[in-house]
Structure 1
Amino acid sequence: MVRHHKRRKSLTDLERVRFASEAAEMHSRLLPYLIALSPLSDDYKAVTRLSLAI
């Protein structure tokens, strides 16, 4: 028999803080790619879309 865990409806306060911190870190890691790429390139546009989604 497979047991299923009950999912929570929201993040804990600690998870919210950690999530915001990790999203900010990911955004900052994407910046060097944006600086190095031409704004007209497809890769630049893809990185920009990812950054905005984060």
Structure 2
Amino acid sequence: MTRRFTATLAIVGLFLLVGFDLMSAPPNPYHAPPALALGSGIAASGGFCGALPD
């Protein structure tokens, strides 16, 4: 395989993945979390291994 073929395959795969993601669940900006929630009052969520349980 050449670099050109591998790069083309990777780009086509990326477009297919993004297209599949958009078709399965269209983006809804009204239910999306804010990109930067600095001082917004929204509590952080997600896993953090160093966080102690409540």
Q: Which has the higher contact order (CA 8 A, sep 6+)?
A: 1
> Structure 1 length normalisation: TM-score?
0.44
Q: Give 1 or 2: higher helix fraction.
A: 1
> Structure 2 length normalisation: TM-score?
0.44
